[in-house]
Amino acid sequence: LLLLKSLYFPSKSDKNLPPSPPKLPLIGNLHQLGSSPHRALHAMAQTYGPLMLLRLGTVPVLVASSVDAARDIMKTHDIIFSNRPKLNIPSILCYGSKDIAFAQYGEYWRQVKSIAVLHLLTNKRVQSYRHVREDEMALMIEKIRDTHKSEVNLSELLISLTNNVVCRVALGRTYEGRKFKSLLERFLELLGCFSVGSYVPSLAWVDRLTGLERRADEIAKEFDEFFESVIDEHVSKKFVGVESQDLVDILLEVQRDNSTGFHIEKDVIKAIILDVFAAGTDTTFTNLEWAISELLRHPQAMKKLQQEAWEIGQGRPMITEDDLEKMAYLKAVLKETLRLHTPIPLLVPRESTQDVKLLGYDIPSGTQVIINAWAIARDPSKWEEPNEFRPERFLNSPIDYKGLHFEFIPFGGGRRGCPAIQFAMAINELVLANLVYKFHFTLVSEEDLDMSESIGLTVHKKRPILVSATSCS
């Protein structure tokens, strides 16, 4: 009866709420999300429109799927939508949400975000790690050469490169052992896991029963012990010159100087560094993996990019970061990839802190908000042939990913937008430019490249890219 009632007699409200698909008792619309929520929500938006009000378990969730809705949330009413919902697993994993990405909006978040923006991720700082990126790129080229045309697992090499760059920048050296790799993998997998307790508090015991909470506790403990030893090592180091400081050195310096007027406890340092790994490794590698996959499927685009690289490289051993500014097609390829394969398709959820009107609808305070950036980037009213891979659309176009063009928001926007766009794209541009400059890749299997997507917060390729590589003479 409850089922029939909720299907056919939805409760009336005097508020003008956005349209809602029928829901089931207890779980609401959870069952409709499937294994690919960005695609399922996109399909639902075709029926219910650019603003839908879902109920995931007991939580009201607003789903925005149009440019106007995204602009209203991230620009017009940015402050109202700058909170993050409290989610059980990120809270266990990230020191009770003391990191930047999951912290509640307020003074604490303002302080930690400004530490990241003013000390860790400035243009100057990103530039200072140029040698790390170039070193790791040279190493990757060597590894591919060493395979002597036999099968190369490009996905694995790209993961290893991004992890190494982030490790060296954040911690001062690489941790290539299986233990660290597995810890990071388990951490990222868990971060994208669905926790029943976050959406149906009365069923929180399910997360304990399935072992989800226990796994989160274990990983949090393992990371904590790891960071504890990394920080101890850094504290006992002799003087470090500004030019060779890693992110932990900088955070310890900010802590010592107390120049921000905000006391940074050790857990805060650990939580910020954890964010750099959580937000910075998977996302960055994902963009590269999809870019190469699309180029393998579009030989004309590959040829054009290689021509550009060869003209700029002029036979020198490597494309350097000074060359990248001139590589317009390279930038267009990466943008087009971010559009078609938005690494975090639903961005990071937000929460409203006041009643507000959005596109004429009433949105109550405390509503969780999902922005379907993936759907917006394929909106046929904004993009010509939206499902086609056509990097040319970004040549001579002002559209950029910095959060001002709401049809293209792979890094989000507004106050909660990603603070590390430059950090990520510095890696991706250098890596893609050099891969196509140095090698011809061909698929190992005759079949078309499998483009299926993985499940999780960051959506990467389900299967790795296997190619054979020959050096371009």
What residue ranges bind ligand HEM (CB under 6 A)? 100-101, 113, 116, 275-276, 279-280, 283-284, 287, 343-344, 347-348, 410-413, 416-420, 423-424
Nearest approach, Cβ of 370 to ligand HEM (angstroms)?
10
Nearest approach, Cβ of 202 to ligand HEM (angstroms)?
29
- 60/280 with CB nearer ligand HEM: 280
- 55/84 with CB nearer ligand HEM: 84
- 61/200 with CB nearer ligand HEM: 61
- 343/391 with CB nearer ligand HEM: 343
- 275/294 with CB nearer ligand HEM: 275
Distance CA 277, CA 94 (A): 11
- 234/416 with CB nearer ligand HEM: 416
- 52/115 with CB nearer ligand HEM: 115
Distance CA 349, CA 370 (A): 5
Nearest approach, Cβ of 346 to ligand HEM (angstroms)?
9
Nearest approach, Cβ of 87 to ligand HEM (angstroms)?
13
Nearest approach, Cβ of 393 to ligand HEM (angstroms)?
19
Backbone φ and ψ for 62, nearest 5 degrees, come out as -90, 130
- 207/223 with CB nearer ligand HEM: 223
Nearest approach, Cβ of 150 to ligand HEM (angstroms)?
30
Nearest approach, Cβ of 367 to ligand HEM (angstroms)?
15
- 58/123 with CB nearer ligand HEM: 123
Nearest to 124 by CA among 234, 240, 241, 242: 242
Nearest approach, Cβ of 347 to ligand HEM (angstroms)?
4
- Closest-CB residue for ligand HEM? 412
Distance CA 45, CA 270 (A): 39
Nearest approach, Cβ of 293 to ligand HEM (angstroms)?
15
Contacts of 56 (CB under 8 A, 6+ apart): 28, 29, 30, 33, 199, 368
